[in-house]
């Protein structure tokens, strides 16, 4: 960085030096009046240059928080996240953060401004004006704002992240809805006449996510080997429509063994799908989605969700989402005594700790079973 001093008379000096260019590429300069000798003024200038280089003396920007959020969305978030996640981030910014905090100058944004907004959002933050947002939603808003301001610090738009001094609401721990074995059987019987039955059975017996189910192609399924490979996930956004993407995490790319009942249903489904394609003059292809319309186009996620909701309502079992089938499968695995490591691999979780944390409701049964086995083994040993 360059700088120089200019005498003003009476022992006063104007210190002038360059600051790092902003993200807009424009040159920025800093000014400061100093009183003392020329040598002291030169030392003061050197100190100012050093502090600016270290990000300790950034001039307050005229950029508003709304402008900062837009810059973050376009230049930082969009290149790094999936279109579906970017769509959600954009909605958080445009519908909640910008209308409530966006007019504040970025350099003047205080932790108390954020804390007061989050407290208000809990009471009256819903867009329809009917009550407040959930603690979980406000927590998500806080995380988005935190990431945007963290990037603003990296871009040298602000000195520090005011979100670091804010305590976001802590979402209450909630039990993940799942079905008992009896209710799952009732649901599957109700779903049997539906065109979506094979997809529902697959999710219930493998724990696949909705996007993973719909992205499956026959080339991913080994019916003879009773297994399938999860290589892709399908998502739908308002802007880009339906697209496939890489699975959620590295561990989500996995191979899963299939129970015989699922293999039998998939064989029947594949034969039926092949007959329908032949009637339309289309050939058989291993590249066709396992669950598709007759023309081979994948099923829209929202269509599967809506149809599943109707089946749940008709069956009169506990209300769950399609994702609830995944929770049901993993809960049943743990309750059956399957090692958590196996359940974690089947789920595609990044670590066993996540599996145990999310499905802690199934752990008490495992603890009781472990205590019983210890008791039985010890008593048998003491009798010898």
What distances in angstroms separate CA 58 from CA 51, 63, 259, one per listed residue?
9, 13, 62
Rg for the chain, CA atoms, rounded: 29
Query: What pLDDT is attached to residue 25?
Result: 61
**3-state secondary structure (DSSP) of residue 132:** coil
- Structure confidence at residue 364 as a pLDDT band (50, 70, 90): low
Query: What pLDDT is attached to residue 1?
Result: 56
Mean pLDDT rounded to a whole number for the chain: 88
**3-state secondary structure (DSSP) of residue 341:** helix
Query: What pLDDT is attached to residue 54?
Result: 59
pLDDT tens digits, one per residue of 52-85: 765 544 454 578 999 999 989 998 998 888 888 9
Nearest to 214 by CA among 184, 243, 256, 176: 243
**3-state secondary structure (DSSP) of residue 105:** strand
Query: What pLDDT is attached to residue 60?
Result: 47
Average pLDDT over residues 287-292: 90
CA neighbours closer than 13 Å in the CB half-sphere of residue 24:
9
**3-state secondary structure (DSSP) of residue 113:** helix
Per-domain residue ranges of the chain:
3-53, 65-165, 181-366
Query: What pLDDT is attached to residue 58?
Result: 47
Q: Where are the beta strands (DSSP E) in the chain?
A: 3-9, 12-19, 28-35, 221-222, 227-230, 233-237, 241-245, 254-257
Of the segments 89-103, 225-239, 246-260, which one has the largest average pLDDT value? 89-103
Does this model's pTM top 0.75? My answer is no
Query: What pLDDT is attached to residue 291?
Result: 94
- Structure confidence at residue 384 as a pLDDT band (50, 70, 90): low
> Percent of the chain having pLDDT more than 90?
53
**From CA 91, how far away is CA 100, in angstroms rounded?**
13
CATH class, domain 181-366, is mainly alpha
**From CA 53, how far away is CA 47, in angstroms rounded?**
10
Query: What pLDDT is attached to residue 247?
Result: 83
Measured N-to-C along each axis, helices 363-383 and 323-335 cross at an angle, to the nearest 10 degrees, of 10
User: Candidates 1.10.287.1400, 1.10.150.130, 1.10.443.10, 3.90.180.10; correct CATH number of 65-165?
Assistant: 1.10.150.130
Residue 366: is it exposed, middle or buried by C-beta count within 10 angstroms (0-12/13-18/19+)? Answer: middle
Of the segments 58-67, 218-227, 329-338, which one has the largest average pLDDT value? 218-227
245: pLDDT strictly greater than 50: yes
**From CA 366, how far away is CA 293, in angstroms rounded?**
43
What distances in angstroms separate CA 95 from CA 101, 311, 330, 342, one per listed residue?
11, 33, 36, 41
pLDDT tens digits, one per residue of 78-133: 888 888 899 999 999 999 999 999 999 998 999 999 999 999 999 999 999 899 99
239: pLDDT strictly greater than 90: no
């Amino acid at each position: 960085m360059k700088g120089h001093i200019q005498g003003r008379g009476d022992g006063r000096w104007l210190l002038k030096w360059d600051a790092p260019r902003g993200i807009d590429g424009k040159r920025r300069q800093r000014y400061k009046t100093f009183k003392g000798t020329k040598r002291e003024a030169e030392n003061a200038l050197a100190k100012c240059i050093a502090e600016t280089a270290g990000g300790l003396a950034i001039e307050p920007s005229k950029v508003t928080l709304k402008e900062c959020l837009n810059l973050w969305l376009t230049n930082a978030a969009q290149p790094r996240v999936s279109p579906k996640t970017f769509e959600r981030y954009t909605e958080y910014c445009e519908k909640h953060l910008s209308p409530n905090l966006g007019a504040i100058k970025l350099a003047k944004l205080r932790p108390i401004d954020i804390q007061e907004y989050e407290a208000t959002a809990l009471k009256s933050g819903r867009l329809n004006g009917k009550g407040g947002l959930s603690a979980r939603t406000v927590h998500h808003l806080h995380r988005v704002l935190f990431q945007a301001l963290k990037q603003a610090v990296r871009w040298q738009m602000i000195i520090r992240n005011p979100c670091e001094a804010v305590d976001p609401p802590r979402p209450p721990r909630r039990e993940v809805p799942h079905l008992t074995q009896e209710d799952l059987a009732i649901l599957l019987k109700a779903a049997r006449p539906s065109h979506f039955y094979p997809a529902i059975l697959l999710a219930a017996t493998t724990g696949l996510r909705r996007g993973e189910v719909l992205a499956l192609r026959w080339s991913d399924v080994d019916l003879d080997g009773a297994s399938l490979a999860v290589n892709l996930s399908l998502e739908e956004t308002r802007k880009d429509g339906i697209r496939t993407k890489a699975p959620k995490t590295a561990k989500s790319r996995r191979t899963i063994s299939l129970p015989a009942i699922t293999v039998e249903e998939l064989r029947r489904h594949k034969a039926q799908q092949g007959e329908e394609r032949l009637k339309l003059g289309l050939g058989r292809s291993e590249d066709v989605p396992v669950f598709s319309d007759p023309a081979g186009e994948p099923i829209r996620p929202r269509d599967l969700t809506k149809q599943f909701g109707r089946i749940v309502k008709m069956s009169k079992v506990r209300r769950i989402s399609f994702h609830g089938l995944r929770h049901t499968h993993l809960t049943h695995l743990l309750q059956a005594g399957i090692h958590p490591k196996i359940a974690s691999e089947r789920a595609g979780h990044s670590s066993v700790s996540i599996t145990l944390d999310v499905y802690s409701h199934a752990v008490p049964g495992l603890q009781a079973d472990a205590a019983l086995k210890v008791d039985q083994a010890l008593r048998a040993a003491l009798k010898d």
